[in-house]
Structure 1
């Protein structure tokens, strides 16, 4: 099962036939493993990783550290749930051994839009004690994929 999942994680566009060849399993075994993993939530979804910088679309990404007072009986979960339900939130993680409890990644069209989100929707919530916002200037690698800038190849001079 792990081998099939690792193949899918690298490229979810592989067909069941390709995965079968790569893993040494039958197509039916691959189909069965994938169906079971989808059913029990091991495969949480399929998403395409887009390098928006290449398209020219302006998207600003920010990492926000959030300090929370845990709630009795539910800890950080209820506050995290309120946060991750916002459309702007792309990732939300509970952290250990840091000065902050949650790390939240959000996207917006501008720094102003992200600042408004932090001040008007995030920092003002009950149980949130502090936030620290860090803006992503450039993405080099995301989810195992390296973003490369394709530069036109220059022709080499040939001397005879």
Structure 2
């Protein structure tokens, strides 16, 4: 991994649909080298997956998202890893992080409605061994996801100027 690989990763994180030719002109690499470096980054699992950022509110799918914070009793010799692995298997769990502060784990989950999210927490998450406490926060509106703004920015309005 060198500076060119880091530059490639930043470019791909911003827009993974750019062609090797476009990336090459941005990095002063020939397209074949861009492709070889990207392939090596994929093989080493540094690049895990390519995704699309979607404004689901605008798409109108009606899903509800929630942030669930968990206080967990860590396991001896495994810490939080085993409980995190179990939680990550649920299709409702979109993101799972170990965090600092009052809570230990943070989940981003989605469901068809608030009742489905509530049922998921009460039936699957809260009863799990080692879960001591949960706090659920319903996401009311997203303004930015993964570095991408989800609202249309208005042109700056020019104020009238007079003497």
Query: Normalising by structure 2, what TM-score?
Result: 0.89
In the alignment, structure 1 residue 78 sits paired with structure 2 residue 82 = yes
Q: Is residue 23 from structure 1 mapped to residue 45 from structure 2 by the alignment?
A: no
Name 1:14's counterpart in structure 2: 18
Q: Does 2:103 correspond to 1:100?
A: yes
How far off its partner does 1:140 sit?
A: 0.5
2: CA distance between counterparts of 1:84 and 1:149?
A: 33
Matching residue of 1:57: 61
- Unaligned 5+ segments in structure 2 are 155-163
Taking the aligned partners of 2:42 and 2:21, their CA distance within structure 1 comes to 18
2:143 match: 140
C-alpha distance in 1 between matches for 2:104 and 2:153: 38
Q: Distance in 2 between matches of 1:99 and 1:84?
A: 21
Q: Structure 1 residue 149: deviation in Å?
A: 4.0
> CA RMSD for the aligned pairs?
1.1
Unaligned runs of 5+ in 1: 152-160
Matches within 5 A, 1:101-140: 101-140=104-143
Runs of 4+ in structure 1 off by over 3 angstroms are none
CA–CA separation in structure 1 for the residues paired with 2:145 and 2:126: 27
C-alpha distance after superposition, 1:8-47 (max 9, x if no partner): 0001111111111111111121111101110111101011
Deviation at 1:51, TM superposition (A): 0.6
